Homo-oligomer: A and B are copies of this chain.
Amino acid sequence: MVTTLKPQLGANPERARSHNKQLVLRAIRHVGTAGRAEIARASGLSTQAVSNIISDLLSEGLLVEQGVRSAGRGLPVQQYAIKPDGGYAFGVEVRPTAVFTALVDLVGTPLFTHRTPLGDARKATILDTVSAQLDDALAKTQVSKEALMGAGIVMPGPFGETGLTGADSELPGWNTGDPAESFASRLDLPVFVENDANAAAMAERMNGIARGLDDFAYLYFGQGLGLGLVQNGQAVQGAFGNAGEIGHITVIVQGRPVELESATSRLSVQAYLAGQGVTVTNMDDLTSLYSSENRHLFAWLDQAAQALSSALSIIENLFDPQTVILGGAMPDDLLDHIIARTALPERSVSNRPDRTHPRLMRGTSGRMTATLGAAALVLHQAFTPTIAEAR
């Protein structure tokens, strides 16, 4: 039972500078625009140090001057903001039948999104497709490869051979070798791999409803149901990268134990409605069923809300998050409906009077959520000081 120490790096001038640069970028990003003195106070560095770092970042093209603000006495503040075209991130979501790609700029604005159907789901096919899509994205947006900071890849978990393997939506050929490695060498970029729920959570944290939150959970409606976890500003991956597989835990619905995923997921609603003779194939079908107040859909929503209430109790009591966000491949209307119907457990550490956020919130939904989340992984990394992380 040999346990190796996780490699951590010592601080030297070079790594210290890189750390400080990311710290400054993060501070500016958080408030939008900021002046040197403000950043110095926030970071515990001297104004001089911040000045030097900012002049570096300006010449690297990561920051722009943003005019002067005179607030109170003293010399007016020269303000700085993130330069949108200071860098770009490529986001990829791999599903068994298609690959979704997105190119976003440094502030997270998508410049290009695309869906490419997959002929087959072999590893080589996927790598080829993603690589071609990257070239296409760069060409269409006139972005140079040098300006790309990395690629985020969202793949359906679980990774490796586990007790959940063999189920529904598998990708063959990925269980051997490190997927990140394969993509990194093929795309010649730094690569970050995550599951859909964590990626969606990070997207929400970078540019969505979870901006500034450091501890929250994200329930992601994908094919099944995934749990994204952010603790201390970092996505929780678990020892083998498979944290958040909430779909297979047992919850109580109408007094009977069922798998959470079988009560609340896209497959679940499709199966339920099919059992009632109603066919849905995409999110638009669900939206129109909802607006026509289809009683079968409403019945499903009710039991989904029940299942969710159990899940909420577990998530809240185990993680004590600032909030729980619901999002993914489910129309806004339905998410809102579920949120309204979900009983907030009383016996929960989250049931506290001094809350700043609702216990349950709706996040971004839609087909591209996870793909944009993949890109957000790259941005997150660019704005997170990491002196000790070995690469």
Which A residues are closer than 8 A to B by beta carbons?
A: 1-12, 15-17, 19-20, 23-24, 26-27, 30, 42-45, 49, 157-158, 160-164, 211-216, 227, 229, 231-234, 236-246, 248-252, 255, 257, 310, 313-314, 317-322, 345-354, 356-357, 385, 387-388, 390
Partner of A8, one of B9, B11, B242, B385: B385
Q: Quick one: closest B residue to A3, CB to CB?
A: B212
Cβ-defined contact, A243 with B320, below 8 A:
yes
A274 to B212, CA, bound (A): 50
A238 to B232, CA, bound (A): 8
A146 to B214, CA, bound (A): 36
Cβ-defined contact, B252 with A257, below 8 A:
yes
Cβ-defined contact, A250 with B313, below 8 A:
yes
Partner of A163, one of B1, B49, B345: B345
What is the CB-to-nearest-CB distance from A174 to chain B, in angstroms, rounded to a whole number? 15
Q: Quick one: closest B residue to A15, CB to CB?
A: B11
Q: Quick one: closest B residue to A248, CB to CB?
A: B347
What is the CB-to-nearest-CB distance from A351 to chain B, in angstroms, rounded to a whole number? 3
Cβ-defined contact, B43 with A5, below 8 A:
no
A40 to B89, CA, bound (A): 34
Cβ-defined contact, A349 with B317, below 8 A:
no
Cβ-defined contact, B6 with A16, below 8 A:
no
What is the CB-to-nearest-CB distance from A285 to chain B, in angstroms, rounded to a whole number? 30
Q: Quick one: closest B residue to A257, CB to CB?
A: B252
Cβ-defined contact, A11 with B3, below 8 A:
no
What are 17 contact pairs spanning A and B, CB under 8 A?
A: A1-B357, A5-B30, A8-B385, A10-B49, A162-B351, A163-B346, A163-B348, A227-B318, A241-B320, A243-B319, A245-B318, A245-B349, A246-B318, A248-B313, A248-B317, A255-B257, A314-B318
Cβ-defined contact, A349 with B162, below 8 A:
yes
Cβ-defined contact, A164 with B240, below 8 A:
no
Cβ-defined contact, A45 with B163, below 8 A:
no
Most B-side CB within 10 Å, residue of A319, A320, A321:
A320
Cβ-defined contact, B19 with A388, below 8 A:
yes
A3 to B233, CA, bound (A): 13
What is the CB-to-nearest-CB distance from A380 to chain B, in angstroms, rounded to a whole number? 14
Partner of A11, one of B16, B234, B242: B16
Please, which residues of chain B bring their CB within 8 A of the CB of A239? 214-216, 320-322
A327 to B7, CA, bound (A): 29
Q: Quick one: closest B residue to A18, CB to CB?
A: B11
Cβ-defined contact, B160 with A354, below 8 A:
yes
9 extra interface residue pairs, beta carbon distance < 8 Å, beyond A12-B45, A250-B310: A10-B19, A11-B19, A161-B352, A162-B349, A163-B345, A163-B347, A163-B352, A240-B320, A241-B320
